Structure 1
Amino acid sequence: MLSDIQNFYRNKTVFVTGGTGFMGIVLVEKLLRITEVKRIYLMLRPKGNKSVEERLTHLFESTLFDKIRKSGVTPTDRIRPILGDCAFANLDISPADRKVLIDEVNIVVHLAATVRFDEPLTRAVNLNVRATLDLIQLAKEMKQLEAFLHVSSAFANCVVNCIDEEYYNAKIGISAVKMCEVANSLGVDTTNKLANVLCKEFPNTYTFTKSLAEEAILSEGRSLPISIFRPAIVIQTSKEPISGWIGNYYGPSAALYAAGRGVLRVMYMKSHHRAHLVPADLCANLMLAIGWETAKSTPEQRLQMAPPIYNYTSEDDNALIWKEYIDTISEYVYEVAISKMIWYPFMIAAGQKWLYYLLTFFYHTIPGYIIDFLLVLKGKKKRMTKLYNIMKRQTKVFDFFLSNEFTFTMDNTKTLWSSLSEEDKQIFNFDLNSIYWKEYLQNSLKGLRLYLGREGPETLPKAQKLHRRFFILNWITHALLFGFLLYLLWVLATIILP
């Protein structure tokens, strides 16, 4: 017997944009493994030297699909690529493919977006706003559409500190359609130069354009069976199909891996603030549940009420604090030591900018120059100072989110959870209260080592030996440094107070 949600997706055709991204691939795997979905149309574009077919083949070689392959199913049997690109008008989908989508698609999941915080405004508008508008128009032509899920971000409306499951159009100051017209009229260079004026209160082009995309859903898509999903920071899988899986260097996971290698040692953050992290597999479960719920709406209901929004962040009863995040990592880092580490791994959370700059000078800048000097002596190219400059730019974009406190309401999400049958709660679990964070973070560290570091269990003895060696060297270095500072203070004191 199929559960309610499984039965909904049975023999359905799903169109997914952004299906090759981290959260998208987890969603596609869940659809293939748990539901009897008829077909998944996956929008792809050629990348590098690979065609869409080659990219699709490479995608399903991932460890993530091991369970499906072991069951005797070939993942590509129910997958069809659709050549398209959000950077171009009408998603650059051919008339023939467009007709196929119009005739067959039952469910749309729009995941595609640029997640770069420092993306030039014109490109961010094209990828996050115009593409959403174009997909809405395509969805209006779909003859068998039952549900449309737009994936936004819990921080899309970070201009307010308490974010409810509602729209914040007044904070944007412009509609999605008008913004696209303005960008088209002004041109690329002028639009990019006016980013600070157009984005107004928003900290970056990402949050501004994601909020604009939500306005597009409200103003242009409300006649459709459509909903918005707002996840917080999406990180490694919790349990499905494997624990700790991560597919790319992204956000906190990238920073965590850099810290595990002993490269990143200082972060600017308020360690007493809540870490709004959500596992990718629970996000996939919630997306599928939202699709099922959205399909229940009637045309009359859609005209009377705004498309529902589902916030998804850590629960009050099971909150994760950044300090707990850092302490747990420090506690388990030896058990999952990385053989490619260049120094003893540790992380310092600096809550003040002056302290952050001081600590990065001692822990990043000076070590960078020392390592580069040694590399030059060996006849190799300098790389550490350049790496630290890149890391500084990349981590700077997170300053706003790590130094400000946000709270969220999740009434719609909680109501949806309560409405599920016990069977669906087991199959499509998205209850964050079920997460034991220490165990989860421990598995995340193992996942980083295995899936990002490409290090199997056989390298662990060597890595732990290196960890012990660097621990001693780190202790000696700090002792010498503090001893030298105390000596300087003593010298200064004898000069000032003879």
Structure 2
Amino acid sequence: MSSDIQDYYRNKTVFVTGGTGFMGIVLIEKLLRATEVKRIYMMVRPKAGKSIEERLTNFCQNVLFEKMRNTGVTLTDRVHVILGDCQAPKLGISVEDRKALIAEVNVVFHLAATVRFDEPLQKALNINVRATLELLELAKEMRNLEAFVHVSSAFANCVVHSIDEKYYVNKLGIGAVQMCELADSLSNETTNKLATVFCAEYKNTYTFTKSLAEEAVLTVGRALPISIFRPAIVVPTYKEPVTGWAGNFYGPTAALYASARGVLRVMQMRTEHRAHLVPADSCASLMLAIGWETARSDQRQRLNLAPPIYNYTNDDENPLLWKQYVKTITDFGPIMPIAQMIWFPFMITVGEKWLYDILTFFYHTIPGYIIDFLLTLKGKRKRMTKLYRSIHKLTGATEYFIVTEFTFTMDNTKSLWDSLSTIDKEIFNFDMRSINWREYLEFSLAGMRLYLAKEGPETVARAQKMYRRFKILHQLLRALLIGLFAFLVWIVASKLFL
């Protein structure tokens, strides 16, 4: 049997923004491994004193490409970097590179974005909105463009709690072009202050600007062969090309690592709520399928219909609740601990903010000051109180999304899945119903050890020994504190009643 998706991407030229990011790397690896794509143009900016050529070399050395490297494939034969910057006018792309893109590109995947919730409004506008507008205008000049996939977020429209595959631009109060024009007429400082007005209902600059970018696609990009992909919380890979690959310290993976180290002990969450997690490799497969579907569906453009949206979240037929997530991680924690732990790893989850604040004071703040005091006595740099301030700042920014129950429809995504051939379903599997969540979470824990903690199988025995010792110390300390508390209560009661 032939693969329709593979046939489509054969000899195609693809332009990817955000290709060096977590999801971008997985997408490019899948393109190179599963299709015979002719060329991938990847927009990259210099970073940390490294040129774009040096960044390409580092990119190709990523563990995700190991299987391909072992086959003798030279990645740079098909991956070409071009200098660009989402914060620069016209994306910072040179005249010559623009000419190449205009003449050659068939498919665009726009993943570039700032995902920081606390980004200043001006910077978030430049990266998430203005860059999207610039790319849409560039796409209009591309002579051979067949598909444009804009990557948004399932939570971009968090002003509503039941989110369908449709636009919610009426909630914004302003359009993307108008917002950028307003920012141009003001100073950066004034624009950043406006966040309290424009982003109030959206809770942060990230969701507000991602929603604005969707409005840009609807209005400015409507005439293009374009679609929007809305993934939920993107987490480590499930099966491809390696299990449990985690490319960064964001989201649940960061919390998992901090908890495994014995640093993060209290989290605010509603454990009965749905955990809207989507594996990165499933996202890559779906993006490629969306590109194929967008290219072959010309009816929308003929009828001037709104660009389709594909939500991608936890499925009703195979749900994952946060309590299942926590229980599975707790079950596997003793089997795969990390040797970098500083105390016995445990997790307390609470739904109420007032209780969370009390518990973090006793389990985070006080231990943080004690550890820093001991570090000072040893002549070492204090770090725990600063770390806990960062953790609490992050949890404060995500509080709304943790305690609010969101529901999503995925009619377009499921229809796309149903339209695939048997061979395409095997090669480009994005069916959330097929995920064994317990197996996936075990892979994620092992991946966290290997890719974030940088600990291989050789450290497991030592880590398990440390785990048992810290568990005994933890139980002794808890018994001591309970005994001390009981003694204090007895002293107070004896003074009052005896």
CA displacement, residues 290-343 of structure 1 (integer Å, 9 cap, x when unaligned): 000000122763543100000000101111111111111111011111001000
- Residue 395 of structure 1: CA displacement? 2.2
1:222 aligns with 2:217: no
Contact 2:86/2:127 (CA < 8 Å) preserved in 1? yes
Q: 234-243 or 372-381, which moves further after superposition? A: 372-381
Alignment of 1:332-343 (within 5 A): 332-343=332-343
1:410 aligns with 2:410: yes
| Unmatched tracts of structure 1, length 5 or more | none
SS at match of 1:316: coil
Aligned to 1:311: 311
CA distance in 1, matches of 2:174, 2:460: 54
CA displacement, residues 427-481 of structure 1 (integer Å, 9 cap, x when unaligned): 0000011111111101100000000111111111111110000010111111111
Aligned to 1:158: 158
- Residue 17 of structure 1: CA displacement? 0.1
Amino acid paired to 2:444 = S
Contact 1:223/1:303 (CA < 8 Å) preserved in 2? no
Aligned to 1:69: 69
Contact 2:223/2:304 (CA < 8 Å) preserved in 1? no
Aligned to 1:17: 17
Instruction: Note closer, same or farther for the CA distance 1:299–1:99 as it changes in structure 2 (3 Å cut).
Output: farther
Runs of 4+ in 1 over 4 A off after TM superposition: none
- Residue 495 of structure 1: CA displacement? 2.6
CA displacement, residues 7-51 of structure 1 (integer Å, 9 cap, x when unaligned): 000000000000000000000000000100000000000001110
CA displacement, residues 136-160 of structure 1 (integer Å, 9 cap, x when unaligned): 0000000000000000000000000
Amino acid paired to 2:70 = K
Amino acid paired to 1:77 = D
SS at match of 2:325: helix
Aligned to 2:58: 58
Aligned to 2:457: 457
Contact 2:12/2:107 (CA < 8 Å) preserved in 1? yes
Identical amino acids, percent of aligned pairs: 66
1:206 aligns with 2:206: yes
Instruction: Note closer, same or farther for the CA distance 1:366–1:2 as it changes in structure 2 (3 Å cut).
Output: same
Contact 2:300/2:307 (CA < 8 Å) preserved in 1? no
Q: What TM-score, normalized to structure 2?
A: 0.99
Amino acid paired to 1:283 = C
Contact 1:222/1:302 (CA < 8 Å) preserved in 2? no
CA displacement, residues 268-305 of structure 1 (integer Å, 9 cap, x when unaligned): 11111111000000000000000000001227635431
Alignment of 1:174-193 (within 5 A): 174-193=174-193
CA displacement, residues 155-193 of structure 1 (integer Å, 9 cap, x when unaligned): 000000000000001110000000000111112000101
Aligned to 1:121: 121
Instruction: Note closer, same or farther for the CA distance 1:489–1:300 as it changes in structure 2 (3 Å cut).
Output: closer
CA distance in 1, matches of 2:169, 2:342: 48
1:285 aligns with 2:288: no
Aligned to 1:265: 265
Alignment of 1:315-326 (within 5 A): 315-326=315-326
Contact 2:372/2:384 (CA < 8 Å) preserved in 1? yes
CA distance in 2, matches of 1:302, 1:455: 55
| Unmatched tracts of structure 2, length 5 or more | none
Contact 2:225/2:301 (CA < 8 Å) preserved in 1? no
Contact 1:227/1:308 (CA < 8 Å) preserved in 2? yes
CA distance in 1, matches of 2:60, 2:268: 37
- Residue 203 of structure 1: CA displacement? 0.5
Contact 1:218/1:307 (CA < 8 Å) preserved in 2? yes
SS at match of 2:223: coil
CA distance in 2, matches of 1:480, 1:191: 53
1:30 aligns with 2:36: no
How many residues are paired up? 498
Amino acid paired to 1:273 = H
CA distance in 1, matches of 2:262, 2:390: 16
Amino acid paired to 2:222 = R
CA displacement, residues 356-386 of structure 1 (integer Å, 9 cap, x when unaligned): 1111111111111111111111111211111
SS at match of 1:183: helix
SS at match of 2:455: coil
